Amino acid sequence: MASNPIPALLEQIDQLLTASSSPDEPATLARLERTLTDGYAHALSLEAEQLRLERRMTELAAELHDGNREQKAKELVQVSRRISLAGAEIERLRGTLSRLRAHATAVRATA
């Protein structure tokens, strides 16, 4: 399983939200924009994964009557858990990105 970049991204966003840097610093707005872009890219990736998992769940449900029901039922449970985790992660990330977007708007207004 690949490492999850979301916790590091959320930490970076929290640092940007609590930093007392001046909006006059050229790097400030650029860093905010880059982090927003990275964050939304991760959110889209998570949403794509969630859709892929939902399709897999539909396939498994349709195949329950074929073959090994116990194995398919176990996979359904695993897929369901992964969908729930992805949904929670998407919600958390989007909420944090919303706060960062508002912060970036405020920084732009004072620049």
Query: Does 88 fall in a domain?
Result: yes
DSSP 51-104: HHHHHHHHHHHHHTTSS-HHHHHHHHHHHHHHHHHHHHHHHHHHHHHHHHHHHH
Per the structure, the count of domains in the chain is: 1
Containing structural domain, residue 77: 51-111
pTM here? 0.84
Residue pLDDT, tens place only, 46-75: 999 999 999 999 999 998 888 888 899 999
Query: Does 41 fall in a domain?
Result: no
Rounded to an integer, the average pLDDT of 6-35 is 84
